[in-house]
Structure 1
Amino acid sequence: MQNNKKLISVKNLNFNYGKDAILSDISLDIYKGKNVAIIGRNGGGKSTLVKLMLGFLKKKSGEIDYYVDKNKIGYLPQIREFDTSFPINIFDLVISGLTKKSNLFKKFSAEDRKRTNDLLAEFEIEKLKDKLISEVSGGQLQRALIARALISSPEILFLDEPESFLDKKFEFELYEKIKQLSDSTIVVISHELDKLCCYVDSIFIVEEEIRIFEDKNEFFKSEFAHRHIHNHKI
């Protein structure tokens, strides 16, 4: 259900890599219950924008205001950015999504472990729970990372190319799960807008600057729809 509660507000945000401007004067608001798709050409700054909102990168200038507990923000990184050499098994990877920044040495309860096992079963990777992440396929690891992002029941969930390495069955199931996450607001970077469009409310085009379509129907009436859907240059 949509409302007017802001979760994150970005004002006049700028970011450079060295001398190169990656994001210029970005302003946006993310509202509770209003799912967002972020699209744009490769290298246009989509992932950079998300990492700035998550605090992983330091902005050059501008403001990012939070109206949500940062421990209730979930994140699925691009799988190619994930270090698969790290010696952790699938179960521990998923349950680590319950670790808060303020309590890195949290002891997990029986309820936490049950929640983890339930998610492993839901994503059909329960038989892999003791496997190291280096021992599973890309698709299996992606399912585990999605489960990790979901385990804390985040109020806002950032997904960066969640369909990567997933087969068609699990890709469809992921989108259906997004539709069912009524308590979470989803912000998703995707190359599959034609498949994802029925699950989001707003569309942000990020290509150094930002163009915002609060109502996705306005995007589909615009000149940008053909370029970003039919040519698949998202």
Structure 2
Amino acid sequence: MQQAFAKHVTALAAGAMLVLSAPAFAQSDNAHSHDHDHSEEHDHGSDDIYNGYFDDDQIEARDLSDWAGDWQSVYPLLQDGTLDPVIAHKAENGERTEAEYKAYYQTGYATEVDRILIEGDSVTFFEDGTPIQGRYADDGHEVLTYEAGNRGVRYIFEKSGGDAEAPAFIQFSDHAIAPTDAGHYHLYWGDDRAALLEEVTNWPTYYPADLSGEEVAEEMMAH
């Protein structure tokens, strides 16, 4: 995992778009700028807000507790075929073929961090069962405007302690803009705060660890 973090930091330092050669720490905000193909939408109080249409005065600060819990990456579920029904559902209702959607999400979901545990100010990343832990403090939020004209809010936390290998920054995107318990989220992490805000191709996505793969697929298709 330490090597993967090193590759991620090197890519950011070069100002390059993060690529899948370092999939553990390649991230993006395609949850918003990638024509928002996510159908795993939950009711966040407003379809407009969820889809990225809101006023600045609606945005509120959020605490790390909004994302507390034990979370699983959906990437393994995509790879093993568990999410094939979701891909088929998207193709039936969208503008891409199943193969195009599959390739799109292969890039979007790619990560080697298959589990994240958030307790208090502690965030632990697990890769093949190996943990790296950091403690994080609120570092505000950023409003991003995407090519489609909609917007999103990144909630940002900066490392205040923990393992040296833990990323300096983590950024959450879950389509909400005010305090709420997340049902799933996209997470971006690395050592360059500004560079993370530019990532638009890879957006590791996490659902509660106590859901089965089939339940995750059902959640995605229910909305």
* Same-fold call, TM cutoff 0.5: no
Q: TM-score, normalised by structure 2?
A: 0.25
Rg larger in structure: 1
Give the structure, 1 or 2, with the largest relative contact order (CA under 8 Å, sep 6 or more).
2
More helix by share: 1
Q: TM-score, normalised by structure 1?
A: 0.24
